Chain A
Amino acid sequence: MSSPNWVFSSVREALYGRQVPRLKTTRDSAIVSIPSPGQVRLISSGLTPLVKVGETVEGGKLIARSPVSERFQRRVHASLTGIITAIHDDYILIEGELPERPPLTHGVPEWIAPEAIRDTAREAGLIGMGGGMFPTYVKLSHPAPIEVVLINGCESEPYLTCDHRVLTEHRDQANCGTELAMRAVGAKQGMVVDREINYPGGYERLLIRDTLGKVVPKRGLPRDAGVLVMNVQSALALHEAVCLGRPLIDRVVTVDGDAVGRPGNYRVPIGTELSTLQEVCEIDPAKTATLLTGGPMMGTAAEASDTVTGGTGAVIALTKEELSEHEAQPCIRCGQCMEVCPYDLPVAHLVANPHKVVLDCIECGACQFTCPARIPLIDELRKAKKVVTAWD
């Protein structure tokens, strides 16, 4: 929000209805690769390093992997071409230059078998890049029959446009990734959903409900409804892994917020410190009240020393004016929380009188965003969920 005062807010609501604003200011900013960050810090906690300090690595080389006994296998690849400078318990440092990006291709190889796609996804370290970071190969391996592969390009979070840019610039490659995913799970139908949608409509369950009319069971997963949902960039990464042999070593990140001097969409190597982005994108630390990774609705506050991971869709620098204050006032039962709730839950009523329908809540935060009393409703809803769960 460039000016989140209440006059602006009420005029916007009068004109467009009560909703979380889109703030897609970087919609037309083409993807730009950042210059080499010089050093990356790759998170490797729980993984076995496969390299030694001082070793020279090519970009894309496997440098750490899960022990074989691990249920969900993870892989970490060098995102720079250079030298391993340190190996710690939970991270590996590499100093070097950006590896070359292979020329783009598309088209699904005729011969590839479902098992080969899954194996490639595992070895390339592919994860859910919408923020979930769940290993892609596990999703592709589940025995439940999948009818539809849904590629989520909605990113309803305010500010985020990286998936939109990927779809605009690499549509064929994303389609190829979709087809590979369909082949891996034996789905007949594949859809890339990229319509403009207001928060929290891009949420997995809501996307399935609103696009396919299918209901995901309350405590189930999309696969229980016969649907596989993948983020756009996960699909692109699947394409790159299978067709180009390129593991997950970079991703497109939206950098935006009022404290950002050069907002836009940047291709960033995994492991890049946010401080690098602060320099490249001219984020003013003096103006920044909160730096966060992910969108402003579901994202988490971050430090400049944190790194970009596979699930980091955005780096947002919010000014003090944009931040939500937490001086709660008494609830005046205005009902706006129910109005914006994607499940029409009477939120304010539920937090005072817990009821089992509260378990429907996906904690999207739209209610807390709109609440004029500024009640921390997500906290309250979690408490209500605990109370209700204790009943069973």
Chain B
Amino acid sequence: MSLFTGPLIHSGKTNRMMMTLVLVSLTPALIAAVLHYGFTAALLVICALAGTWLTELVLDRQHAFDGSALVTGLLFALLLPVSAPWWLAFLGGVLATGLGKHAFGGLGCNLFNPAALSRVILMALIPGAWFVSTAVTMDGITTASPLARESSMLAPTLAELLSGSTPGTLGQAAPLAVLAGGLLLASLRTIDWRIPLTFLAAVAFLALLLPASERIAGHAPWLLGNPLIHIIGGGTLLAAFFMLTDPVTAPFAPVGRIIFAIIAALAMMLIRYYTPYPDGAVLAILIANACVPLIDRFTLELGAAPRIKTPQSF
């Protein structure tokens, strides 16, 4: 009798299939962005995809066709303002795959979401390329987000946010398209529904709960106590459904994923309320990502297991 080595049949799933489902779910948001912003948006997407995929091809030819580079590239493109130059999209793609993924050891090894990491680094290094308008505020940093419209004191209405008529990133052209794609992914169980649900619920709860800071009350009072603005505005939906749910950078256990989503929501809302940084979704993702090993250690209830035990002496 031969030794049993596991099941002989398989569900038929592959990593590539998971990535394909994510790409398919991102398509509505992509189409909406191209329809809304036209050729410029398409160019940015192509440059970002070229950046991630060519880097992948150079650094890890074997896995270049599993679709993960395309997911990263598309996500990075959706985080770009339409006014961004094409080389920023390409550079961001290269950085996301090269530094965000392969520097950590390749697919499955990265601690941070590659697209988010790339965006935060580039925003710190080349802030000028990200400005929506030429107006530089006193804060020195303005992001590609309608939530940044604080100097005007005018609240973007819900209708404005939903139609994408406020200045924003490609991903904010049509929040409903992002939501539709996200719901598709969740219903296919490709992503864990707990993460977007907990994250959005926590964002809404914090929007109602957090006390106003002077900064917000003085500059953008409409940001206060309005959960819908916080959910639909900024990168919240994209983060909830497509970035926090990246399994590589999320905790392993269901409980851990809930804690993780709460940490991300808390970080994002604290940034939006109490720092000069208006969106914070991307930074919040990185902060939550950084907590994952710790969350895993506690939620998997494995304690601190000895990984290496010295052999018994003779």
Contact residues of B between 284 and 308, Cβ < 8 Å to A: 296, 300, 302, 305-307
B187, B296, B302, B307: residue with the most chain A Cβ atoms closer than 10 Å:
B302
Is B37 at the interface (CB under 8 A from chain A)?
Answer: no
Q: List chain B residues, Cβ under 8 A from A348.
A: 252
B209 to chain A, nearest CB (A): 30
Q: List chain A residues, Cβ under 8 A from B107.
A: 329-330, 332
Is B61 at the interface (CB under 8 A from chain A)?
Answer: no
Is A370 at the interface (CB under 8 A from chain B)?
Answer: yes
- B6 and A368 form a contact (CB under 8 A): yes
Q: List chain A residues, Cβ under 8 A from B302.
A: 346, 349, 353, 355, 357
- B106 and A330 form a contact (CB under 8 A): yes
B270-284 near A? 1/0 per residue, CB < 8 Å: 000000000000000
- A369 and B108 form a contact (CB under 8 A): no
Cα–Cα distance between A86 and B2 once the two chains are bound (Å): 25
- A14 and B187 form a contact (CB under 8 A): yes
B233 to chain A, nearest CB (A): 30
- A329 and B66 form a contact (CB under 8 A): yes
- A334 and B9 form a contact (CB under 8 A): no
Other A-B pairs, 16, CB within 8 Å; known A330-B108, A374-B10: A10-B21, A10-B189, A13-B188, A14-B188, A290-B8, A297-B7, A324-B9, A324-B10, A329-B66, A331-B108, A333-B250, A346-B302, A349-B252, A353-B305, A378-B4, A390-B309
- B7 and A300 form a contact (CB under 8 A): no
Contact residues of A between 323 and 382, Cβ < 8 Å to B: 323-325, 329-335, 338, 346, 348-349, 353-357, 363, 365-366, 368-374, 376-379
Number of interface residues of A (CB under 8 A): 58
- B305 and A354 form a contact (CB under 8 A): yes
Q: List chain B residues, Cβ under 8 A from A332.
A: 15, 18, 68, 107-108, 247-248
- A6 and B15 form a contact (CB under 8 A): no
A residues touching B (Cβ–Cβ < 8 Å)?
1, 4-6, 8-10, 13-14, 17-18, 20, 158, 290, 292, 296-301, 318, 322-325, 329-335, 338, 346, 348-349, 353-357, 363, 365-366, 368-374, 376-379, 390-391
A109 to chain B, nearest CB (A): 37
B178-200 near A? 1/0 per residue, CB < 8 Å: 00000000011110100000000
A296 to chain B, nearest CB (A): 4
B1-45 near A? 1/0 per residue, CB < 8 Å: 111111111111111011001000000000000000000000000
- A338 and B189 form a contact (CB under 8 A): no
Cα–Cα distance between A355 and B18 once the two chains are bound (Å): 29
B230-265 near A? 1/0 per residue, CB < 8 Å: 000000000000000001101011100000000000
B residues touching A (Cβ–Cβ < 8 Å)?
1-15, 17-18, 21, 63, 66, 68, 106-109, 187-190, 192, 247-248, 250, 252-254, 296, 300, 302, 305-307, 309
Cα–Cα distance between A272 and B106 once the two chains are bound (Å): 52
Cα–Cα distance between A300 and B10 once the two chains are bound (Å): 15
- B12 and A5 form a contact (CB under 8 A): yes
- B11 and A333 form a contact (CB under 8 A): no
Shortest 6 CB-CB contacts between residues of A and residues of B: A324-B10, A378-B6, A4-B12, A365-B7, A6-B17, A330-B108
- 9 A-B pairs with CB atoms under 8 Å apart are A10-B190, A20-B11, A323-B9, A334-B247, A353-B302, A353-B307, A369-B9, A378-B4, A379-B5
- A370 and B248 form a contact (CB under 8 A): no
- A323 and B187 form a contact (CB under 8 A): no
A126 to chain B, nearest CB (A): 20
Interface SS majority for chain A:
loop
Cα–Cα distance between A8 and B63 once the two chains are bound (Å): 24
B41 to chain A, nearest CB (A): 29
A220 to chain B, nearest CB (A): 21
- A9 and B15 form a contact (CB under 8 A): no
A117 to chain B, nearest CB (A): 30
- A370 and B252 form a contact (CB under 8 A): no
Partner of A372, one of B8, B13, B106, B192: B13
Partner of B11, one of A17, A318, A331, A369: A369
Q: List chain A residues, Cβ under 8 A from B306.
A: 391
A45 to chain B, nearest CB (A): 12
Shortest Cβ distance from B60 into A: residue: A330
- A374 and B14 form a contact (CB under 8 A): yes
Cα–Cα distance between A324 and B14 once the two chains are bound (Å): 11
Partner of B189, one of A13, A366, A373, A391: A13
Q: List chain A residues, Cβ under 8 A from B6.
A: 324, 363, 365, 368, 376-379
A372 to chain B, nearest CB (A): 4
- B4 and A298 form a contact (CB under 8 A): yes
- B17 and A330 form a contact (CB under 8 A): no
- A329 and B1 form a contact (CB under 8 A): no
- A296 and B7 form a contact (CB under 8 A): yes
Cα–Cα distance between A376 and B8 once the two chains are bound (Å): 11
B10 to chain A, nearest CB (A): 3
